[in-house]
């Protein structure tokens, strides 16, 4: 009896081996099909083809498995093949670490972002005046931070909210940055503004709301300025990577990815900081990754713990908003920090980084 069982099991082992060989062969062909489809820009998922194969299999099925069981098994195989094709596609992206194993290091006025050291981006939410930006810039510079942010074009939820000073705002930022020997990071929302804006800024920020503004991404890819690309608030990591791919595909590979929280049902924070996105992005791409602790949390009391978490998990720097008098700020007044709070925040963060 046990001999019989042993023998039957041996037969199954041999069939398992053959099945494995066959599904592996099948998978390799599906991979080739995936490459052909990529070149021809055809959708990888083909439900009509799947339906035809299933009908053919069921018509040949003589049991003992039910048609529905055969259908279930083969659907799993098709699904796995499709995932393989998508995996290959992802690895073929120019932003992918498979394509370029070494880290991209971006020189921003002497700051080597992505070199393994920390490079933070700090500054007010909106540029309001020369004095306002200068006050913040001095405090930021005193802490050894050279990347100054400030919004000149503000994509606001309400059309009645402050929309930013536009080019005048960029001029203020440039004046301050030149006087303080700092680099300017500022958001551009309109593709037509990119060419003018590059005269004033050192890093073009593409905001969360514009992460899938493909014309803007393409335009940013055509200039030689580094781009700080923020993750869309409802974007998956794969969509985020594809947005970066739009930029790099046009020739500009100097991209910093910035996690800034995603929309979930949780209301305790403004957005839910997807902290695990940081190591995923670092593993899958060769690009530097930053974390915006201001917009993700929307809470001053969470800036330090989330910034520490960002550093602990491998971010290249954090972004936060600082205003001389947040109570009267024209945007994001609830979550910007004042200068003394900023100083304490950065002292504690730098002490944590040195631990």
Nearer to Mn ion, 250 or 299 (CB): 299
| Minimum CB distance to ligand PRE, residue 71 (Å) | 14
Q: Is 88 in the site for ligand PRE (CB under 6 A)?
A: no
Query: Judged by CB under 5 A, which stretch of 83-91, 209-217, 307-315, 330-338 contacts Mn ion?
Result: 330-338
Q: Which of 8, 14, 15, 49 binds ligand PRE (CB under 6 A)?
A: 49
Query: Are 144 and 108 in contact, with CB atoms under 8 Å apart?
Result: no
160: which 2 tokens?
């009645």
Q: Which of 23, 70, 82, 198 binds ligand PRE (CB under 6 A)?
A: 82
Q: Is 45 in the site for ligand PRE (CB under 6 A)?
A: yes
Q: Is 292 in the site for Mn ion (CB under 5 A)?
A: no
Nearer to Mn ion, 193 or 332 (CB): 332
147: which 2 tokens?
């990347």
How far apart CA 6 and CA 12 sit, in angstroms, is 10
| Conformational region of residue 120, where left means phi above 0, alpha means psi within -120 to 50, and beta covers everything else | beta
Q: Which of residues 30-89 bind Mn ion (CB under 5 A)?
A: none
Site size for ligand PRE (CB under 6 A): 10
- DSSP secondary structure string for all residues of 122-147: EE-SB---HHHHHHHHHHHHHTT--E
Nearer to Mn ion, 278 or 293 (CB): 293
Q: CA dihedral defined by 278, 283, 286, 290, rounded to 10 degrees?
A: 10
Residue 63 CB partners (closer than 8 Å, separation 6+): none
Q: What is the number of H-type helices and E-type strands within the chain?
A: 12, 10
33 interface partner picked from Mn ion, ligand PRE, none, CB below 5 to 8 A per type: ligand PRE
Question: Residue 330's closest CA among 129, 172, 174?
Answer: 129
Contact letters for ligand PRE, residues 3-42 (x by CB under 6 A): ---------------------------x--x---------
Nearer to ligand PRE, 28 or 178 (CB): 28
Nearer to ligand PRE, 45 or 352 (CB): 45
Q: Which of 30, 113, 121, 125 binds Mn ion (CB under 5 A)?
A: 125
Nearer to ligand PRE, 76 or 222 (CB): 76
Query: Judged by CB under 5 A, which stretch of 106-114, 210-218, 263-271, 326-334 contacts Mn ion?
Result: 326-334
Query: Judged by CB under 5 A, which stretch of 119-127, 189-197, 284-292, 302-310 contacts Mn ion?
Result: 119-127
Q: Is 70 in the site for ligand PRE (CB under 6 A)?
A: no
Q: Is 72 in the site for ligand PRE (CB under 6 A)?
A: no
Residue 235 CB partners (closer than 8 Å, separation 6+): 211, 212, 243, 262
Q: What is the DSSP letter of 104?
A: P
Quote the distance between the C-alpha of residue 132 and its chain's center.
Answer: 30
Question: Residue 106's closest CA among 315, 281, 316, 326?
Answer: 316
Residue 4 CB partners (closer than 8 Å, separation 6+): none
Q: Is 81 in the site for ligand PRE (CB under 6 A)?
A: yes
3-state secondary structure (DSSP) of residue 225:
coil
Q: Is 71 in the site for ligand PRE (CB under 6 A)?
A: no
**Contact residues for ligand PRE, defined by CB under 6 A:** 30, 33, 44-46, 49-50, 78, 81-82
**Contact residues for Mn ion, defined by CB under 5 A:** 125, 332
């Amino acid at each position: 009896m046990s001999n019989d069982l042993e023998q039957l099991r041996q037969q199954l082992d041999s069939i398992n081996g053959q099945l494995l060989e066959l599904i592996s062969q099948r998978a390799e062909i599906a991979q080739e099909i995936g490459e052909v489809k990529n070149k021809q820009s055809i959708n990888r998922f083909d439900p009509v083809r799947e339906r035809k194969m299933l009908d053919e299999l069921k018509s040949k099925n003589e049991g003992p498995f039910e048609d529905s069981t055969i259908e279930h098994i083969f659907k799993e195989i098709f699904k796995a093949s499709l995932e393989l094709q998508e995996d290959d596609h992802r690895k073929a992206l120019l932003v992918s670490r498979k394509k370029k194993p070494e880290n991209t290091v971006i020189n921003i006025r002497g700051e080597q972002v992505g070199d393994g050291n920390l490079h933070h981006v700090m500054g007010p939410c909106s540029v309001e005046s020369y004095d306002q930006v200068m006050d913040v810039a001095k405090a930021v510079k005193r802490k050894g931070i050279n990347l100054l942010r400030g919004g000149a074009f503000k994509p606001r939820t309400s059309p009645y909210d402050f929309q930013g000073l536009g080019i005048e705002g960029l001029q203020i930022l440039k004046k301050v940055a030149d006087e303080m020997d700092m680099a300017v990071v500022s958001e551009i929302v309109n593709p037509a503004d990119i060419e003018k804006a590059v005269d004033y800024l050192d890093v073009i920020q593409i905001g969360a709301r514009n992460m899938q503004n493909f014309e803007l991404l393409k335009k940013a890819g055509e200039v030689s300025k580094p781009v700080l690309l923020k993750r869309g608030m409802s974007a998956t990591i794969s969509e985020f990577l594809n947005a970066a791919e739009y930029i790099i595909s046009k020739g500009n590979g100097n991209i910093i990815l910035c996690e800034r929280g995603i929309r979930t049902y949780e209301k305790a924070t403004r957005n839910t900081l997807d902290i695990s996105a940081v190591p995923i992005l670092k593993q899958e791409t060769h690009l530097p990754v930053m974390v915006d602790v201001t917009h993700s949390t929307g809470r001053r009391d969470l800036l330090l713990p989330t910034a520490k978490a960002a550093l602990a998990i491998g971010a290249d720097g954090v972004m936060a908003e600082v205003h001389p008098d947040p109570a009267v700020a024209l945007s994001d007044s609830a979550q910007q920090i004042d200068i003394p709070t900023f100083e304490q925040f950065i002292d504690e963060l730098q002490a944590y980084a040195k631990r």
